[in-house]
Structure 1
Amino acid sequence: MTKMRTFWSLLLAAAVLAGSCAKDELGQAGETAPDDGLSAKLVFSADNARQGELLVCFSSDAAERIESAVGAMTRAGGIATRSGIGDFDAVLDGIGVKTLRRLFPVDSRHEERTRAAGLHRWYFVGFDTDADLDFVARQMAAVAEVSKVEFNQQLRHVACGEVVPLTESPVVAPTRAAVQFDDPYLERQWHYINTGNTTLYDGIKVGADVNCAEAWRLCTGDPRVVVAVLDNCVQWDHPDLAANMWVNSDETLNGADSDGNGYADDIHGYNFVDDKELTISTIKDADHGTHVAGTVAAVNNNGRGVCGVPEVRATTTA
């Protein structure tokens, strides 16, 4: 025990010594930037954030007051620009506020779960794009009723390179026979069942896989499970995916929010980047998302394409 205490004492002393040599941005030893206690409330930074936008999470008590204020303004046919919280509204007055709305729309079918998860406390705040984002965020964080202020990060499509379809190849019987599936490209999915086929990769190692064969002997999935693919769009009519794509049967493709969940035309998912329905104009709009969805929900034993790890319903949230 004495040796252990000595060890921790020396470790603590070293940490203190290292901290005493820390330098701030000005390079002055022994000095640290002042902390007003607001940093803990901030999520991300303004470096890659959308200008004129912040996401704010309020305390549970404050959320009820905000719902009343926002609801009154929207029911009157206007756009909500007041929260009903004096200190927060004072911040809004100085930034040219344009809108204040719940980040996650009200969907009566799931509202109970939404509130249980605290998602009703999150609000989107839109304001003048020339306002100093860092300054505004810290002003909002200084309000007692505010729990978190998140910088709304910009999302950009990252090219995955050219999409090259798989070419036909000889059947590797041991791979497919192991699970009695007839999907022609299963032998190429070495990450599922690795038989050591060096025609795929000369450094391949037998058994370096996710043990799909063993898992499939127990269960090949449950179509009641819905998995959201957070990626670019999924080609929902792909012949090896269509049968397993999630379908919002309460929605109609008519440019309106038919089921009242806050999203128009969300038949198979929604485009949360551009806040509109999903569209596919080129293969690059759905290359990686379709690849991921294939791993999640490709139809097994249908004589075409690849296999999915579990057989579930997939929905795209590009």
Structure 2
Amino acid sequence: PALRKSAGRTVAVVAALIAVAVLFGLRSSGDDGSSTARSTTSSGQSSTGGAWTGGTSADDSGGLGTPDDTDDTDGDTGDGTSAGGGDDTTAGAADSDADEDATESPSPTPDPVGDAEVGSCFDDEGTRTRPDLVSTSCSPGAFKVVDIRHGTTDLDSCDGVDDSDESVSSHRHDLVLCLSYLNPGGDAYHAGQGDCVYGPNGSGAWYTEPCETGNFKVLAVYQGRNKSKCDGWPHYNLLKPFNGPSGAGLDRILCLSMNYPDAMGYAQVRQCLLKSGSGSDATFTNTGSCDSSNVVVSGRTGRYEAASFCGNDGWTTWRSREYPELAYTVCYRWR
């Protein structure tokens, strides 16, 4: 019996110890679960926002706490305080992001070369070898697009294009712009050999126009400012210089010849001419042969109406009011 009692007490003690161990184990398990739930809730709030966190917190608390705790948590979630606050925060963040996107969206960068059309105008703010085109109005001093060569970047592709002064290539767009300089001195800047031009005797713009008595015929056009290049041209009597953009190498000169009323304007002493008509209607023609001519030039002066200079010979005279230095009186005799 003693052993049995002892055994009974032992069993009781053992049973008591087991009961204590079970209670201790249950309490430890409850503490770990709460810690895990709080950790989950905290993690949810940090990473996904209040709406998802509120739902997870309520579910986790319901599994670990009492029914009253579950009801309280459900109430917090149901009244929208936690979830609604999370939704408001998320929507606000989205609105803020949208505002930032709208603010930060860059406007398209202008592409003057790619967007250029024939007739577009630019200022060239670059150097002679590195152009920097900036769109501008087509006013004197600008460059105007007169042609576009697609499918090439060869700057020489603008050779032969009327009035082209500068070519700019774009490897990105695989094209070349042929540009014409709008010279402030007038469109006579682009006159070619054989064209006729006119402008004031001094400062002012010069323009191309139909050839007629009193304006000038272009004998030659040269790049640069070397005036001596005009000296060898027959009938040369006026030089017209034009300045190009600074440093661009586009300065040029026109060698000009006055368009006189007839061949007497450039006739030399002893030259044979054919006179037709009489008085103010008389005209003189160079036939190239004395056999087909009826007068010979006997004298010449740069003075206007210098009849006394000719003595008893016939004479004819002419002058330009704008260019009186190009006047003449020419004497002649019948053959």
TM-score by length of 2: 0.19
Q: With CA pairs under 8 Å and 6+ residues apart, which has the higher RCO, 1 or 2?
A: 1
TM-score by length of 1: 0.19
Greater strand fraction, Structure 1 or Structure 2: 2
CA radius of gyration, larger in: 2
